[in-house]
Amino acid sequence: MEKDNLVRDDLTDRVIDRIQKMIWSGEIVPGGLLPPQRELAEKFGVGLSTIREAIKALSHVGMVEVTPGRGTIILPDAMKILSSEKAFRSNFSDVDPEVFYEARGVVETALTEMTLQRANQEEIQELQGILMEMGSAQVQGDVDKFSKADIRFHLAVAKASKNEVLEKMYYLILNIIKEMIHKSNEKPDGMAYTYQIHQEILAGIIAKDPKLTQQATNPIKYKKLSQL
């Protein structure tokens, strides 16, 4: 396989994009298998952990499935999902950031309420671990690391909600506004404000208190992120 090194910035996102392009172009087809993880790691010039994270993200939205003993299968709906994402991006490319953040708050209110009812201990521990990463990144002033953990936190909440439709919708929203998230976290008070919201979300989930999570994910709070 021809080697295709990627710039070491946002590696997981870039690997996801490259795999999606392989599917879209027909290089790999629904029903077929992704090349072995080591082969992909060599092709893209990244570590195995990055490949695993990319595959995990693609499995969350129903594009691939990891099957023990066989490898990673491209699922039948992969092309449909890709088409939907491209249409979604096209239709919302000019939407005001404030409107996106407001919509994000509405979706997250629903997701966090489901999560506080359905999350198991392992999922809560995962959220606690990601929040610790965010706190560490904030102390270090590492906006890039903080923003990636920020996104992982919300995707973990979406997964723990056990609502596949909302999880997929939220994955698409975050894919579109990743740059907005990074920019808001770059502002002087951005990381502190965002970290506080995440603390409140997790506190509400652990306490199983919908009032706390509703306050944390209030759409007005999310609109403020775009105004920092």
State the span(s) of the chain assigned CATH 1.20.120.530.
Answer: 95-225
Top-confidence residue, 3 or 57: 57
Name the CATH architecture for the domain at 11-80: Orthogonal Bundle (1.10)
Residue 6: pLDDT over 80: no
> Residue 157 — pLDDT band, cuts 50, 70, 90?
very high
Mean of the per-residue pLDDT values for the chain?
A: 86
Report pTM.
Answer: 0.67
- Average pLDDT value for residue range 10-30: 87
Q: What are phi and psi of 141, to 5 degrees?
A: 70, 25
> Residue 165 — pLDDT band, cuts 50, 70, 90?
confident
β-partners of residue 66 are 72
| CATH number for region 95-225 | 1.20.120.530
Res 8: pLDDT? 36
CA 53/CA 61 separation, integer angstroms: 13
State the span(s) of the chain assigned CATH 1.10.10.10.
Answer: 11-80
Residue 3: pLDDT over 90: no
Res 173: pLDDT? 79
Residue 228: pLDDT over 70: no
β-partners of residue 71 are 67
